[in-house]
Structure 1
Amino acid sequence: MKPKRFVDLSIALESDLPSDPPGMIPKVDYSDHALGSEGMKNYFPGITQEDLPAGLGWAVESVSLTTHSGTHLDAPYHYHPTMDRGKPSLTIDEIPLEWCFHDGVLLDFRHKADGERITALDVEKELKRIAYEIKPFDIVLVQTGADAAWGTPQYLLKGCGMTRESTLYLTEKGVKVVGIDAWSWDRPLPFLAQEFKERGDSKVIWEAHFAGIEIGYCHMEKMANLSAIGQPHGFTVCCFPVKIKRASAGWVRPVAIVYED
């Protein structure tokens, strides 16, 4: 089969968008070609603007981010120091590359309300609807529709989310990488916080993330454009993360590769 389409499943990193909590909002400072001509004088002593094409130099950006800014891949180390019931958790630079290039599966839960749970039974029903059986190393993408609110403060409250049981439903079948088009693989944090406040049940705290303590796995967060894939399976996902030593996550530009028959 030949690739028919390459579908970008990431959001663009932009400066000062209010779609992250305070302290996590990316900042991008731009140095244009005019400023770059001044900077080049430090590397080429004696040059003048007349020595440069149209008097212009290089453009450069300075970026302030967390490893969880923008579309990113979380490593098991993000969730806990151990995974697989006691083994040291993998950091992002230790993630096997073969985890990040496999058949993709798209599960559509856009009918669910913001803050609603995606249960193991929900996943099972959706797989039955699309007539698909999970294989080891499939990359499972969860569509909530939250990406429509990207760029607004409401994004932090948008989308349903996975639970411990639904996450383990996938990882027990050999899934190593998953992804979601919302801020978190779990339900939005304000919903979890409110539920904990009302019920005092610590099991709701970051339950889908903490499932990685039992079986190590990675998940992508802040994905987008999942509808453009156009089919629930029969495509490949490529999602190699940036290699950051001992980090809990790495930025990623996931791509769905859709094939022609």
Structure 2
Amino acid sequence: MSATRPFAIVTGASTGIGLELARRCAKEGYDLLIAADEPAIEQAATSLRGSGADVEAVQADLATTEGVDKLTAAIRGRAVDALLANAGRGLGHAFLDQEFTKVRRVIDTNITGTVYLIHKIGNDMRRRNAGRILITGSIAGFMPGSFQAVYNGTKAFLNSFSFALREELKGTDVTVTCLMPGATETEFFRRAGMMDTKVGTDEKDDAAEVANNGFDAMIKGEGEIVSGLKNKVQTTVANVTPAGVLAGQHRKMAEPGTAKK
């Protein structure tokens, strides 16, 4: 990797928003360290190298501290200019019907692994007084997620954590941006077992557009970006709607059997 080119880490970069974030980084001249917990991360790296970027791929389970340590070991002392913490996992159906091992994996991927990675990289950024952090939250964090309860809860955590960390870093040259997309055309809903739901089968936002919105906001040092006008309206309404009403509305989107016939 070139010492003169900026260096970015993108997690959850094998598909979807993460891959599109990595593509945008490559287009903007970043060398890349990308990670995901599946072999497809190697295919992603090959496609990204076609843009001229120096790309290293790490297959690691970022739900574990060992997986995060494996990723950070691959940095090999290089200054990280941008951390795009995008790795995430969803889980549909009613909470009491879910296997707890899968519940725990959502929490460990979305929260524990993400926070551990940001703690490690963020400390180095603060020491250097330079760096940008982009955290992929979600508009799901604004509403109680009936039939997606744990996932929405983790995104509420990430949204909140992002704003708090940003405030703590005021007065430094380290910025924190929270990307909050709505339903996006990715592998998310299939992997979460939600293809029998309304939200799983409805038309969704374009992953590249969401990623570009997030990248632009990160470069500008903005605190947040809700991608898409429809999602902006939804979050504004959610802020003034009682939680019980929101939970009922979410049921209509995420309850199994609500998919369009």
TM-score normalised by L of structure 2: 0.31
TM-score normalised by L of structure 1: 0.31
- Structure number, greater radius of gyration: 1
Higher relative contact order (CA 8 A, sep 6+): 1
Going by fraction, where is strand more abundant, 1 or 2? 1
